[in-house]
């Protein structure tokens, strides 16, 4: 960022050239200076030598250097008078704000000359015009004119002006009151209450009248109590993004995210306050997109509302300690919130955990019995769907008698008892060890000393139970 001394020097040196460009294009000289200041960081960062307007970048051609500033200004004038800039030229003689908006919308700069926290094309040029005014633009008048020393004229934009905002009249230069009007309008768009807008507008006026750089005003705004009250997680979110090497979000981006997130929660029927100004910072700082947040909410609600009590119970048993309250018999609202709002948990993992819980619930309701979290997760990771698991568990239900030792068993118990996990992995994953255990359990149950009786006596080994893979069951 240029220092105040560098800005003052830039304005003093370039004002005559801006006046010349203004006479040739019809644009406000203060706007031209603001654009040149934006393109070159107030003369401290030229893309190429003496290319005051970064001419060439806009037209898609090479980025040329020029022998003198005069040559660079001539190239800029030619660019602004080209047919491509007709929409900007059409605003000649209109207020500076109108010209700035047209220049921002013209595509001269890919970023549309947007100020920090604004979505209005040309807003950075308006902010720059205030900087130019603060550096003394228009305070001198000369009466001679040559190509090398263009005429400078009294800047009418420094005339006294007043504007009433929120019932308060602010008096200053035209540029100062114009800048304040822009800031106040932006504050209203950010969702601040009228009282907060009034408080922040009064504060911003003090900054403007002290000629504080607009970029610094945007930074200082974040420290104001009214801002922190409205966006308590904003600073922390950008701090987290910076740690990850990610770009910061603007106030408008943050506010837009908050609006969308709250609308998603309301559409899902979640309680008021589920998404609030406090946890928005957690989501933004965790780089959780609105699309991912929507998916998280939908997945969590699928389990919380549409799943059976058994599936909800298994989720709580498997993953309850991950998200807080273990919940006895159903996924709690607090867990839904934790699932959706925890940026450290990826959305695919949430979906996988929900599938595991649905598989575990199907095992319980079919009569096979409760699976371990590890087995249910293994099945979900293998691509087994809840419907595939339900079909397989129905086939396995007759084998549930093998899950407990039967009368007459002695040392054969180790071979004659099989667990729900072994039944599930043998049937759904074709696990060789689990298949052998099932075969042994069947054989022990059929032996005279087994005394198993019941459905085990009529089994035909694994073939009778069928087999499965991640592509389907009973294949």
**Among the three residues 81, 99, 134, which one is the final residue of a domain in this structure?**
134
Judge whether 235 lies within some domain.
no
Q: Is residue 96 part of a domain?
A: yes
Residue 463 resides in a domain: yes
Closest CA relative to residue 375, chosen from 391, 355, 395: 355
* Domain-embedded: residue 79: yes
- In angstroms, the Cα distances linking 155 to 158, 298, 331, 394, 428 are 6, 58, 67, 86, 82
Q: Which residues, other chains included, contact 409 with Cβ-Cβ below 8 Å and sequence gap of 6+?
A: 416, 444, 449, 450, 451
Residues 59 and 34 in one domain: yes
| Reduced 3-state DSSP string for 231-264 | CCCHHHHHHHHHHCCCCCCCHHHHHHHHHHHHHH
Per-residue pLDDT of the chain (475 residues; tens, 9 = 90+): 677 778 888 888 888 888 888 888 889 999 999 999 888 888 888 767 888 888 875 555 567 888 888 888 888 888 888 888 888 888 888 888 889 889 988 877 767 888 877 788 888 888 888 888 877 775 432 322 333 333 333 344 444 556 666 667 888 777 778 778 878 777 777 777 888 888 888 898 888 888 877 767 877 888 888 888 888 888 888 888 888 888 888 887 888 888 888 888 777 766 666 777 778 888 899 888 888 888 877 776 766 666 677 777 787 777 764 544 434 334 555 555 666 666 665 556 767 877 888 898 889 888 888 899 899 999 999 999 988 999 888 888 887 767 666 655 544 445 557 788 888 888 788 767 767 767 776 666 565 444 444 443 323 333 344 444 444 434 3
Q: Are residues 314 and 430 in the same domain?
A: no
Helix (H, G, I), strand (E, B) or coil at 164: strand
Please list, residue by residue across 427-457, b when 16 or more beta carbons sit within 10 angstroms of its beta carbon and e when fewer do.
bbbebeebbebbbbbbbbbeeeebebeeebe
Which of 134, 152, 181 terminates a domain? The answer is: 134
- Kindly state whether residues 347 and 468 are assigned to the same domain: no
Asked whether the beta carbons of 99 and 27 are under 8 A apart, the reply is yes
Distance between CA 93 and CA 470 in Å, rounded? 72
Residue 139 located in a structural domain: no
Both 286 and 338 in a single domain? yes
Strand partners, 169: 164
- Check: pTM over 0.85? Answer yes or no: no
Torsion (CA) 393, 399, 405, 408 in degrees, nearest 10: 170
Q: pLDDT for 138-159, tens place per residue?
A: 543 232 233 333 333 334 444 4
Q: Report how far apart the first and last C-alpha atoms of the chain are (Å, whole number).
A: 69
β-pairing, 168-173 vs 160-165, is antiparallel
- CB atoms under 10 Å from CB of 113, counted, come to 27
Mean pLDDT for all residues in the chain: 74
Domain annotation covers residue 148: no
Q: Residue 226's domain spans which residues?
A: 160-230
Q: Do 102 and 224 belong together in one domain?
A: no
177 and 276 in one domain? no
Q: Please count the other Cβ atoms lying within 10 Å of the Cβ belonging to residue 262.
A: 18
Length of the chain: 475
H/E element holding 423?
helix 420-428
Residue 375, domain member (yes or no): no
What is the DSSP secondary structure assignment for residue 143, as one 8-state letter? -
Give 304's DSSP letter.
I
Same domain, 322 and 407: no
State how many domains the chain has.
Answer: 4
Among 324, 329, 321, 318, residue whose Cα is nearest residue 355: 318
My answer on whether 260 and 180 are in the same domain is: no
CA 384 to chain CA mean position, Å: 32
pLDDT digit string, tens, across residues 90-106: 888 888 888 988 998 88
Contact 359, 318 (CB under 8 A): no
Residue-wise pLDDT for 251-263, tens only, equals 878 888 888 888 8
In a domain, 378, yes or no: no
| Statement to judge: residues 46 and 123 lie in one domain | yes
């Amino acid at each position: 960022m240029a220092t105040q001394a560098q800005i003052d020097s830039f304005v003093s040196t370039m004002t005559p050239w801006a006046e010349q460009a203004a006479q040739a294009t019809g644009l406000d000289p203060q706007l031209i200076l603001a654009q040149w200041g934006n393109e070159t960081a107030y003369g401290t960062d030229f893309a190429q030598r003496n290319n005051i307007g970064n001419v060439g970048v806009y037209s898609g051609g090479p980025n040329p250097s020029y022998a003198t500033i005069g040559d660079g200004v001539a190239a800029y004038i030619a660019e602004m008078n080209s047919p491509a800039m007709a929409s900007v030229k059409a605003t000649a003689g209109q207020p500076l704000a109108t010209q700035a908006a047209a220049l921002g919308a013209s595509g001269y700069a890919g970023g549309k000359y947007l100020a920090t926290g604004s979505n209005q094309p040309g807003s950075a040029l308006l902010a720059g015009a205030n900087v130019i005014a603060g550096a003394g633009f228009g305070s001198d008048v000369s009466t001679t004119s040559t190509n090398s020393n263009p005429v400078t004229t009294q800047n009418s934009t420094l005339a006294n002006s007043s504007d009433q905002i929120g019932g308060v009249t602010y008096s200053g230069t035209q540029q100062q009151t114009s800048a304040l009007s822009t800031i106040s309008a932006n504050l209203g768009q950010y969702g601040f209450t009228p009282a907060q807008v009034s408080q922040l507008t009064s504060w911003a006026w003090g900054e403007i009248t002290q000629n504080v750089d607009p970029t610094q005003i945007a930074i200082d705004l974040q420290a104001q109590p009214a801002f922190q009250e409205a966006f308590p997680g904003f600073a922390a979110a950008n701090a987290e993004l910076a740690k990850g090497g990610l770009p910061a979000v603007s106030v408008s981006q943050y506010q837009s995210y908050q609006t969308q997130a709250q609308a998603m929660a309301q559409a899902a029927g979640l309680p008021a306050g589920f998404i609030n100004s406090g946890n928005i910072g957690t989501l933004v700082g965790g780089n959780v997109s609105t699309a991912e947040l929507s998916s998280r909410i939908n997945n969590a609600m699928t389990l919380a509302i549409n799943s059976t009590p058994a599936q909800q119970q298994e989720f709580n048993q498997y993953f309850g300690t991950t998200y807080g309250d273990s919940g006895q018999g159903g996924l709690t609202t607090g867990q839904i919130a934790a699932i959706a709002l925890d940026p450290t948990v990826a959305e695919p993992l949430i979906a996988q955990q929900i599938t595991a819980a649905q598989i575990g619930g199907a095992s319980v309701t079919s009569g096979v019995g409760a699976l371990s979290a590890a087995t249910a997760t293994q099945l979900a990771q293998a691509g087994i769907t809840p419907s595939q698991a339900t079909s397989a568990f129905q086939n396995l239900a007759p084998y549930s008698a093998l899950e407990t030792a039967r009368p007459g068993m002695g040392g054969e118990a180790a071979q004659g008892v099989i667990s729900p996990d072994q039944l599930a992995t043998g049937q759904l994953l074709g696990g060789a060890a689990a298949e052998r255990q099932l075969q042994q359990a069947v054989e022990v149950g059929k032996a005279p000393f087994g005394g198993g009786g019941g459905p085990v006596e009529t089994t035909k080994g694994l073939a009778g139970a069928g087999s499965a893979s991640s592509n389907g069951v009973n294949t």
